[in-house]
Amino acid sequence: MSGPRTLFDRLWDAHDVHARGDGASLLWVDRHLVHEGSHHAFRKIEERGLRVAYPELTFGVVDHYAPTKNRAYIADPAIRQMINTLTDNTARHGVRLYGLDDPRQGIVHVIGPEQGITLPGLLVVCGDSHTSTHGAFGTIAFGIGATEVAHVLATQTIWQKRPKAMRITINGNLSAGVGAKDIALGWIAKLGADGARGHAIEYAGPVVRGLSMEGRMTLCNLSIEGGGRFGLIAPDETTYDYVQGRTFAPTGATWDAALEAWSQLGTDADAEFDRDESLNASEIAPIVTWGTSPEDALPITASVPDPDRVPDAKREKVRDALDYMALVPGRPLEGTAIDQVFIGSCTNARIEDLRMAAAVLAGRTAKVPGIVSPGSALVKAQAEQEGLDRVFMNAGLEWVASGCSMCVGMNGDLVAPGKRCASTTNRNFKGRQGRGARTHLMSPAMVAAAAVTGTLADVRPLLEGRDAA
């Protein structure tokens, strides 16, 4: 491809092994991440007498079914079988496994970057939709289905049609108490859950450059909730500083060569996108969701929407969502009573997220119960070293091990029917956290504010005079 190029162009073309006449390309896969749900794919290749083609490029992780409590004995035989099957499959094929007893175990989209498995310029796939998280490092990263998982296991390649390119530029300045989760929910609320459908999203602008890697991962993680195929951010010094010294990161002369190559991963100034959108960060307030889709999001200072005041095409959807969520049109969102909180998931369970929540909770007592599940065993250990675990427990919240936990309503980490949860997770669909559960998505700081007030609350007054870094 000649002429000005985007970051997406550079990454796609570098991995395009063969282009078919119908527009599909066979792409080389640099990293394949598998979890407990991969058993169908392993069975498929074994039925055909095949082996994992490149076991050194495949990494197994126990996360979706990982108990966050009582790991010594898993009472549910189905869950025990899922974990044992992954253990057996990875052992048989020579694939590295981060199992329950591994001190590096965690959620796949947390430990991939944490271990340096995720590096700039790569193509990363996993049988999980939030694989888009890894795009924060300047990678192409997306979720795939069971048949595709089998194809990657057997060939280290995948067929894909090239998506369109979209840029979301974020200018201005973030206010206190506003972070990456608010940015993501903000653009999804503005453009809709299908707003970026079929597009590779590049996040750009000074606000994105100012985000930590944790913030960038949160932003890319939520790309698919706005319909995007994946999200990505060009690597820079923030990226390199995060990557350097990690287990699978290059070293010595190889590191110098990698830096030179990574420095070329950017978008040319005059490159064109199929779509260009922008947000003013100064206009973004702490956000909460009110409905059953991530697009159902508003500033905490807003009121519950009135179905009679929305376009006809959306009226029934809004009515249905409000009925499920048991919210009254026109009432302020702030002050809505909640029953419990959850801090965790691949979206918001990294050390920065825990620090933000702890800054709000320190010296205060939660009015409702809740669970705090770090994104990995290493994050858990670091948080304990910093004393964050004591902040959470002193506030009355439960400090547990790493896993997908309440994000997917697993292992008893559930929201009971009709109960309302303030959650740092990525989806608020009906039943996502348990049958009949009512989920409000928000940032870790906002969840902490909900915990200490027992309601949906604006975190900003609670942060005054405190260090939220």
Burial of 252 (0-12, 13-18, 19+ CB in 10 A): exposed
Fold that domain 164-235+267-283 belongs to in CATH: Aconitase; Domain 2 (3.40.1060)
Neighbours of 268 (CB within 10 A): 13
- Residue 445, exposed/middle/buried by CB under 10 A (0-12, 13-18, 19+)? buried
Architecture of domain 7-162: 2-Layer Sandwich (3.30)
- Is the distance from CB of 79 to CB of 412 less than 8 angstroms? no
> Which pLDDT belongs to residue 3?
85
C-alpha 399, offset from chain centre: 21
**Measured distance CA(66)–CA(80) in Å, rounded:** 9
Q: Which two tokens stand for residue 465?
A: 């005079």
Q: Report how far apart, in Å, the C-alpha atoms of 370 and of each of 391, 392, 450 are.
A: 13, 10, 11
Q: Which two three-digit tokens encode residue 36?
A: 């407990």
In degrees, rounded to 5, the angle at the alpha carbon of residue 387 between the alpha carbons of residues 382 and 389 is 85
Q: Where are the domains of the chain?
A: 7-162, 164-235+267-283, 287-463
Q: In the prediction, which pLDDT does 145 show?
A: 96
- Residue 466, pLDDT score: 78
pLDDT of 1 reads 56
pLDDT score recorded for residue 72? 82
Sign of CA dihedral 64, 226, 291, 360: positive
Report, as ranges of residue numbers, the positions in the chain whose pLDDT lies below 50: none
The helix (H) or strand (E) run that includes residue 178 is none
Q: What is the pLDDT of residue 426?
A: 97
Question: What was the pLDDT predicted at 75?
Answer: 84
**Is there a common fold for 164-235+267-283 and 287-463?**
no
Topology adopted by domain 287-463: Aconitase; domain 3 (3.30.499)
SS3 342: strand
